Structure 1
Amino acid sequence: MLAVEHLSHSFRSGSENTPVLHDIDFRVDKGEMIALLGSSGSGKSTLLNLMAGLMKPTSGSILISGQAIEKMSENRLAEFRRTHIGFIFQSYELIPHLTVRENVELPLVFQGQRGKHRREKAMSLLSKVGLGEKTEMFPSQLSGGQQQRVSIARSLITQPAIVFADEPTGNLDTKTEKEIIDLLIELNQTLGITFVIVTHELEVAKRTRRVIQLRDGYLVEDGAWAGDAE
């Protein structure tokens, strides 16, 4: 599903290179739910951007569904992201003047799919995330946890190969954080969705079956939790 192979990355500033990631190598199988754990400065955000095709690596390869995304043109990569990758953001990234249903439908609008088909898929997903009765409300009328549920439904609307969740509980209180992770686990188990959850929170990471931990740009753990996030 996802293969990160000998991935390294540096940022250039003038004539100087600053290494950020060093020979990262791991695989994620279809249907897995993993956590990418690391404190600030560990390189996890850079790794996320590379895996999502938002940046090109200095060296190494990233394969999603067997396709090397670092070799794609910008136009091909943009199309690939629309059809193969879902995103869940810490700040939800909902459009305030669109209803809940319209926000979830939006990726299908970009794909040119018909209105009736879009609505049916959006309504089905909103029901799955517990918002079946709030489809015509606006984001401002929802709590933070409910807005994140909308974001989760939107991430699934294109039936992506993989969903990247970037600090999905970062803006939520402890109770709501648990509810959102419970929902992601349920979707992973019932729909077979592949999730990569990027987090600095140990309690979030420990809820997944597998933890990949970064420290100072190096992969230091891959497996069941066995370390310190600091």
Structure 2
Amino acid sequence: MLVVQQLSHTFLSGTEPTQVLSGIDFRVEKGEMVALLGSSGSGKSTLLNLMAGLMKPTEGSILIAGRNIEKMNENDLAVFRRSHIGFIFQSYELIPHLTVRENVELPLVFQGVKGKVRRERAISLLSRVGLAGKTELFPSQLSGGQQQRVSIARSLITEPAVVFADEPTGNLDTKTEEEIIDLLIELNMGHGITFVIVTHEHEVARRTKRIIQLRDGRLVDPDIQAGEGA
């Protein structure tokens, strides 16, 4: 599903190289829910950008759905991301002048899916994430937790191979955080959706099935077993 092999990355600051990732090896199987845990400066944001194909690694390989994404050109990567990778963002990244349903439909617009099919799939997904009856509202009419549910539905609309969730509860209060993680667990266990949740919060990481922990650009232990989400 997702295989990261001997991944290293170095930034150049002037003429001085700074290595931010070194020798990263792990795999995420189809249907897993894994936390990528690390504090600020650990390298987790860089690793996420590499896995999402937003940056090219200095060394190593990244396979998603059997494809080496680090070998793709920008056009092929854009097409691949649209079909195989879903994103959930900390700040939701919803388009304010589009309705909830239209925000969820948007990835299918870029795939050329017909309007009736887009609408039906979006409404079905919004119902699945607990937003039935709110499809024609605008993001500003929703709470933060509800906006994140829209973001989750949008991430699933293309039936991606893997969904990357970047600090998905970072803007939420404790109760809403628990509700969102409960929803992700339900989607993972009930529908087999593969999630990689990037977080600095141990409480969030412990809800997943497995923790991949980064410290100073290296893996601490790629096989830490988490608890409640398993």
- TM-score normalized with structure 1 length: 0.97
Give me the whole-angstrom Cα distance separating, in 2, the residues matched to 1:55 and 1:223.
26
Give me the whole-angstrom Cα distance separating, in 2, the residues matched to 1:37 and 1:138.
33
| Aligned 1:1-230 pairs, distance under 5 A | 1-225=1-225
Mean alpha-carbon deviation: is it higher for 10-19 or for 48-57?
10-19
1:2–1:27: 8 Å Cα contact kept in structure 2? yes
| 1:221 alignment partner, SS class | coil
Report Cα offsets for 1:168-205 as digits up to 9, x if no partner.
00000000000000000000011110000000000000
Give me the whole-angstrom Cα distance separating, in 2, the residues matched to 1:126 and 1:224.
33
Give me the whole-angstrom Cα distance separating, in 1, the residues matched to 2:120 and 2:184.
21
Mean alpha-carbon deviation: is it higher for 217-226 or for 190-199?
217-226
Identity of aligned residues (%): 80
| 2:196 alignment partner, SS class | strand
| 1:19 alignment partner, SS class | strand
| 2:221 alignment partner, SS class | strand
**Letter paired with 1:191:** H
Give me the whole-angstrom Cα distance separating, in 2, the residues matched to 1:222 and 1:66.
21
**Letter paired with 2:155:** S
Unaligned runs of 5+ in 1: none
Give me the whole-angstrom Cα distance separating, in 1, the residues matched to 2:72 and 2:42.
27
Give me the whole-angstrom Cα distance separating, in 2, the residues matched to 1:75 and 1:222.
32
| 2:168 alignment partner, SS class | coil
| 2:222 alignment partner, SS class | strand
Q: Structure 1 residue 95: deviation in Å?
A: 0.2
Q: Structure 1 residue 42: deviation in Å?
A: 0.2
Report Cα offsets for 1:40-66 as digits up to 9, x if no partner.
000000000000000000000000011
Q: Structure 1 residue 36: deviation in Å?
A: 0.1
Q: How many residues align?
A: 226
Give me the whole-angstrom Cα distance separating, in 1, the residues matched to 2:13 and 2:224.
37
Give me the whole-angstrom Cα distance separating, in 2, the residues matched to 1:74 and 1:136.
34
Report Cα offsets for 1:22-80 as digits up to 9, x if no partner.
10000000000000000000000000000000000000000001100000011000000
Report Cα offsets for 1:91-128 as digits up to 9, x if no partner.
00000000000000000001111000000000000000
Q: Structure 1 residue 225: deviation in Å?
A: 4.9
**Letter paired with 2:105:** E
List structure 1 runs of 4+ shifted beyond 4 angstroms: none
Give me the whole-angstrom Cα distance separating, in 2, the residues matched to 1:118 and 1:191.
20
Give me the whole-angstrom Cα distance separating, in 2, the residues matched to 1:225 and 1:145.
28
**Letter paired with 1:152:** I
RMSD, matched Cα: 0.8
1:209–1:224: 8 Å Cα contact kept in structure 2? no
